[in-house]
Amino acid sequence: MSESLIVERAGRVVTLINNDAPYNRMTLDFMDDLEKVIEDLSTDDSVGAIVIRGAGDEHFSVGMNLKQTREGAERKGSFEALLDQRLRVISMIENMPKPVIATLYGYCLGGGLELPLGCHFRLAAAEGAKIGLPEMDLGGVPAWGGSARLARCVGRDAALDIILRAKKVSGPEALRIGLVQEVWPNHELQERAQDLAQELAQQPSGAVAGVLKAIVEAGEKPLAEGIAEERRAVVANMNTEDAKEGMRAFLEKRPPVFHK
């Protein structure tokens, strides 16, 4: 693995850091490393939550290093194959059986928003964040699933406003339109992400995986299919040790201790 991706571990929480400060471009090496790490983490039962951030405290990411487009197409065999990898990695994150958190600060542009849109939680800085899909200014369209996921996240009208005007929204504006779940002072953002990750990592992992699968897939299915997926999650989880511990703890009037 190259030095483009730093992996840190604190208990059941893993933090993935794009190591290309200050702009944290999503280089070819970074995407290759990220794909491998996400694949490994998805089946690692000792990991309960993941945080994705950029190196330093200036910017989350300005997206793909456009100077590497030709090299990337040659490395992958075609431009379409290069694009497919980006789409595949973000889909892998979105379909992880454990929650993934992104921290948005400074520039979060292009792929620097499209990757967080695949995460389950997005926390933004209260000041200085510039979040958007500026491809229109380059004569292009979002290429990593940004238009579809942004519309699903904030609604059609807000997505059109952001994309067609190449608009960059602040952290508080992102919270108002539902693009992020929380906004924190810049100096508290990373600590809050770690606290949230630790909180989520303590939840019963089987139940978390079932809820993530049901909710993520529900956005692409009719209501009846979404309810059926939820039922499958309930049945799969009901006899797990964590489910039994949760019921015992409730009856004994004590906090549950999962992952024993």
Q: pLDDT tens for residues 139-181?
A: 888 889 999 999 999 999 999 999 999 999 999 999 999 999 9
Domain with CATH 3.90.226.10 in the chain: 5-201
Is residue 184 within 8 Å of 125, Cβ to Cβ? yes
* Residue scoring higher pLDDT (213 or 219): 213
Q: What is the pLDDT of residue 50?
A: 98
Residue-wise pLDDT for 119-145, tens only, equals 999 999 999 999 999 998 878 888 899
CA dihedral 182, 218, 164, 58 (to 10 degrees): 30
> Right CATH number for 5-201 from 3.10.105.10, 3.90.226.10, 3.30.200.20, 3.20.20.70?
3.90.226.10
Q: What is the pLDDT of residue 243?
A: 78
Average pLDDT, the chain: 92
Q: Give 52's strand partners.
A: 16, 102
Residue-wise pLDDT for 63-78, tens only, equals 999 889 899 999 999 9
Residue-wise pLDDT for 10-26, tens only, equals 999 999 999 999 999 99
Q: Catalogue the active-site residues.
A: 114, 135
* Residue scoring higher pLDDT (98 or 240): 98
Question: Is residue 260 pLDDT above 90, yes or no?
Answer: no
Question: Is residue 5 pLDDT above 90, yes or no?
Answer: yes
With 0-12 / 13-18 / 19 or more C-beta atoms within 10 angstroms meaning exposed / middle / buried, residue 137 is: exposed
Q: What is the pLDDT of residue 134?
A: 92
CA distance 219 to 224: 12
Q: Give 26's strand partners.
A: 64
The model carries a pTM of 0.88
* pLDDT-based confidence at residue 234 (cuts at 50, 70, 90): low
CATH code for residues 205-251: 1.10.12
Tokens of 79: 């431009």
Is residue 220 within 8 Å of 151, Cβ to Cβ? no
Q: What is the pLDDT of residue 259?
A: 77
